[in-house]
Amino acid sequence: MAEKLDVKQGTLALMILKTIEVLGPLHGYGVARRIEETSKNRLTLNYGTLYPALLKLEQEGFIVAEWRQSENNRRAKYYSLTPAGRKQLAREAREWHQTADLIAAFLSPRREGA
């Protein structure tokens, strides 16, 4: 069984924005399940983690929320990406790629003087 991982500082917003970009408008439960699925269930999101992040992204103007009927006929808040959210996603993805490249340089085996 895969070891459960903690969500690293600063990654949840990126995962939420990317999930909504790929799948379109989703309710919070759908966002959480998709992130867990994408992580091959190595991440588990609880409501105390997810909903404050969604609220923050909404307050920053990166997503908008709208009440709709869910698949099971319940009212649910659906989140969509805004144009500012698309720009933020591109910026955060670029920064994470740069960070990953930097850390990889330190972790790769190197010969002395190479």
Kindly report the CATH number assigned to the domain that includes residue 83.
Answer: 1.10.10.10
Tell me if 112 is assigned to some domain: no
Supply the pLDDT for residue 113.
Answer: 57
- Total domains in the chain come to 1
pLDDT tens digits, 70-107: 888 999 999 999 999 999 999 999 999 999 999 999 99
Predicted model pTM: 0.87
pLDDT tens digits, 16-36: 999 999 999 999 999 999 999
Tell me if 40 is assigned to some domain: yes
Nearest to 47 by CA among 25, 66, 67, 31: 31
> What's the DSSP call for residue 41?
T
Domain that holds residue 74: 12-106
Q: Which residue has the tokens 């698949």?
A: 71
Tell me if 114 is assigned to some domain: no
Tell me if 111 is assigned to some domain: no
Q: Looking at the DSSP assignment, which residues form a beta bridge with residue 65? A: 79
